[in-house]
Amino acid sequence: MAEDIDDLLEEVESKYLTKDIKKGRTVNNQKEKRDNEYDIDDLLDDIQVEPIPKASRSVPNNISDFRPTTGRKCFPVYLGGSMCSQGMASSVSQRACDKLRCTSCDFKVCSFDNFEWSSETDYLFLRNNAPDYDRLKTNMVPKKGSRAYCCQCSHRSVTDITKLGDPQLKWVCGKH
């Protein structure tokens, strides 16, 4: 039994410990592996990689929204004209959702105040031009009080606050 334990200890020592003959010391192989991993991590940290900038919203006046998300969704979801307030809607406060996302094209829904879509707007036009405001404005007609919504597959013009109930629109609240 003692021989079995000695054999087991020798096997462990040979596998995990090596003798550095030149310096006469015992070195732990796992420690060397950890040191090498740290060296690799240090090298990777030294590489300076520029972060990819978030796509800027192509809306007039380049207004950006820096509100933190709370994880809550609108219920029910409303669309509204430019005179309607935007934000998180509830059964008590009717607001046009400003965090809409399309489940069909998986794209953020853009909105443009005081515009409506022309009758020539179609799927292909949106697919090629959304969300670039400068390219989209060729098919938008100025109309005070209206708001033009679009993703890359659908569009809608709204003047009054309305509940999102059209089955052709696959838009959902993307959390506030």
Q: Return the pLDDT at 13.
A: 75
- Residue type (1 letter), 118: S
What does the pLDDT look like over 106-156, one tens digit per residue? 999 999 999 999 999 999 999 999 999 999 999 999 999 999 999 999 999
Average pLDDT over residues 93-115: 95
Gap between the Cα atoms of 30 and 34, Å rounded? 6
Gap between the Cα atoms of 157 and 80, Å rounded? 9
Q: Tell me the pTM.
A: 0.60
Gap between the Cα atoms of 174 and 98, Å rounded? 9
Q: Return the pLDDT at 16.
A: 66
pLDDT band at 105; cut points 50, 70, 90: very high
The pairs formed by 119-124 with CB atoms below 8 angstroms and a separation of 24 or more are 121/155, 123/153, 123/154
